Structure 1
Amino acid sequence: MGRSLICYGIAMLLLFAAAAHAEDVTLPGPEGITIKAKLFRPDVATAAPALVLLHGCGGPFPSRDAQWTELLTKAGHIVLLPDSFGSRSLGSQCTTPVRQRPVTATGLRRLDALTAARWLAAQPGTPAGGVVLVGWSDGGATILAAGGERPDTQRGLIRGLVGFYPGCTSEAQTAGWRPVAPLLVLVGEADDWTPAAPCQALARSLGPAMTLVTYPGAYHDFDAPSAAVRTRSSSRGQVHVGTDPAARADALQRVPAFIASLPSVN
């Protein structure tokens, strides 16, 4: 067994230990796909909004998933983590050019996110008032795609949007693009994978509808627990990834506070 597989297994055990009420669930997805997901419930039911957490281009990130799931379930949230890639027998898509990927943020992943939000909203015990979408990198791009105003937008479904280093180019270049709910974006100023500049342009155009937080010196994956900064291959070439302790600490406080501030949409 390889070292990476052993580390993955340990991280998954920690994820399950962090939230005792974990369930493996399946959702009917687009194009007849069955979406595999993990559902976590807090020890005590609360009125806190339910959350859908969307992975990045590498698929589930066990240590980061464990960190955020533990934090958010302790705050009283029901948390659903759908796996868009594993459900389709796909591995990491990070080095594949975006337009060549079989599953993209603006295509099937958008549909997956909305499917997951509808499914979660309909589950017994899910608080009324809308679901919050939270995404990292490609998952962040997905929450922007799923959370943009469209003629077919389902009112009352999405309560808020949180995107970590999403890459905001498409939305910044689309005249009139607006989110259906309050939007928080967090990105490192040194991010050379999904640079901050497009998100800064989008924030200027949206005004109070979007809260943008940028972190000086922080790279992609700044909120990962204990990940040394390194270079890796991506569809954009060699890029930097790794933890920024100050940015991570701020995000771990800022995101729950933002979610707690969101008004009900029902």
Structure 2
Amino acid sequence: MMFWRRFRVVVLGRRVLTPSPMRLRLTALFLTLLVSAAHAAPVPQQVDIPLSSGVLHAQLYKPEGEGPFPAVIALHGCGGLSGHSDSVLPRYRDWAERLLRAGNAVLLPDSYGSRELGPQCRVKEMHVKARRERVTDIAASRAWLMKQSWVARDRVSLIGWANGASALLWAVRPQSAARDLSPDFRAAVAFYPDCRISAGLGWSTRVPTLVLIGADDDVSSPPACRQMVDGARGRSALARIVVYPGAYHDFDRANTPLHAAAGGTDVTAPEHGHLGTDAQARAESQKDVAEWLAR
């Protein structure tokens, strides 16, 4: 097919070529593809972090340039970090990309996949416990970040969801402080953790910690989280709780209609309670997280 058609015009007595409509359409399509590629979603890099026994696999989102950048260690819930075709599930990728756009490096350790385990939401005897193995993973992730030249070592924070948030609560307790001379975590954000054990143990934190939970969360316990945070005031670093009216578990997860977990076959979901997006709470939590990490 001829993409150019010839015709005569009198321009200083010379013949010129004019692009055909087909050529123009192809050019427009090519430019559209170039723009789309330029705005493609960032692809994380897998990194391997040494543990005392084995290796912790993690996914890293890193801004362009040499830094130093603030960094966030992001902790997945009981459903795990990855899926069949995703190295990072959409719910965590959404937050990672949001934090990345704000200039943060984001490290997502895979506590289950690294130990060749699947989702642990409906496992009665969990082999990876929030207060034990997952706290070890947090410490290893922090130690790895402290060795990277592109990390602002005094601006490393934590964020976690559900089981990952429960691990975060254990990791920020004064008893869990690292014994090295590196700066401590800058801040921590816990989305709908299970606060019942921590509240009963007289939890406190050495790191400014924000707890975010829906008022109608029937998977975790908003009253226990209130009790935990209220009990910590006056004897620990700054602790704050935000309870979003009418919101359920997973309120910050995009495009998830409210539904009951009980009776479902989804092994990445809890056995009981309700899950689903709350648009207002989602938007407010995004603002709350950004302000807390920018402190």
- Report the TM-score when normalising by structure 1: 0.85
Matches of 1:246 and 1:236, distance apart in 2: 23
Larger-gyration structure (1/2): 2
Q: Which has the higher contact order (CA 8 A, sep 6+)?
A: 1
- 212 and 45 in structure 1: CA distance in 2 versus 1, 3 angstrom threshold: farther
Q: Which residue of structure 1 lines up, in the alignment, with residue 152 of structure 2?
A: 127
**Is 1:50–2:71 an aligned residue pair?**
yes
Task: Name which of 201, 211, 222 aligns with 2:240.
Answer: 211
Q: Which residue of structure 1 lines up, in the alignment, with residue 216 of structure 2?
A: 190
Identity of aligned residues (%): 34
- 190 and 152 in structure 1: CA distance in 2 versus 1, 3 angstrom threshold: closer
Q: Where do 1:56-135 residues align within 5 Å? A: 56-60=77-81, 62-97=89-124, 100-135=125-160
Letter aligned with residue 52 of structure 1: I
Letter aligned with residue 247 of structure 1: A
- Aligned partners of 1:44 and 1:76 also within 8 Å: no
Shift in Å, 1:19: 2.4
Q: Where do 1:232-247 residues align within 5 Å? A: 232-233=261-262, 237-247=271-281
Matches of 1:171 and 1:195, distance apart in 2: 12
Shift in Å, 1:238: 2.3
- Aligned partners of 2:209 and 2:239 also within 8 Å: yes
Q: Which residue of structure 1 lines up, in the alignment, with residue 60 of structure 2?
A: 39
Matches of 2:176 and 2:90, distance apart in 1: 38
Shift in Å, 1:230: 1.0
**Is 1:163–2:186 an aligned residue pair?**
no
Per-residue CA deviations over 1:68-112 (Å, capped at 9, x if unaligned) read 111111111011001000011111110123xx1000100101101
Q: CA RMSD in A?
A: 2.1
**Is 1:231–2:256 an aligned residue pair?**
no
Shift in Å, 1:168: 1.2
Letter aligned with residue 205 of structure 2: P
More helix per residue: 1 or 2? 1
Q: Which residue of structure 2 lines up, in the alignment, with residue 221 of structure 1?
A: 250
Matches of 1:212 and 1:152, distance apart in 2: 22
Shift in Å, 1:117: 1.2
- 201 and 111 in structure 1: CA distance in 2 versus 1, 3 angstrom threshold: same
- 28 and 178 in structure 1: CA distance in 2 versus 1, 3 angstrom threshold: same
Give the SS at the match of 1:163. Answer: strand
Task: Name which of 24, 30, 35 aligns with 2:46.
Answer: 24
- 222 and 162 in structure 1: CA distance in 2 versus 1, 3 angstrom threshold: same
5+ residue gaps, structure 1, are 1-15, 262-266
Letter aligned with residue 232 of structure 1: A
- 42 and 181 in structure 1: CA distance in 2 versus 1, 3 angstrom threshold: same
**Is 1:138–2:163 an aligned residue pair?**
yes
Following TM superposition, where does structure 1 have runs of at least 4 consecutive aligned residues deviating by more than 6 angstroms? Answer: none
- 206 and 82 in structure 1: CA distance in 2 versus 1, 3 angstrom threshold: same
- Aligned partners of 2:196 and 2:225 also within 8 Å: yes
Give the SS at the match of 1:18. Answer: coil
- Aligned partners of 2:68 and 2:149 also within 8 Å: no
Matches of 1:127 and 1:228, distance apart in 2: 38
Letter aligned with residue 104 of structure 1: K
Per-residue CA deviations over 1:134-176 (Å, capped at 9, x if unaligned) read 100000001011111117544623111110001111221113x
Shift in Å, 1:256: 1.2
Give the SS at the match of 2:173. Answer: coil
- Aligned partners of 1:42 and 1:76 also within 8 Å: yes
- Report the TM-score when normalising by structure 2: 0.77
Shift in Å, 1:130: 4.2
Give the SS at the match of 1:127. Answer: strand
Shift in Å, 1:128: 2.3
Letter aligned with residue 200 of structure 1: R
Per-residue CA deviations over 1:192-220 (Å, capped at 9, x if unaligned) read 11111111001211227211000111111
Paired positions, count? 241
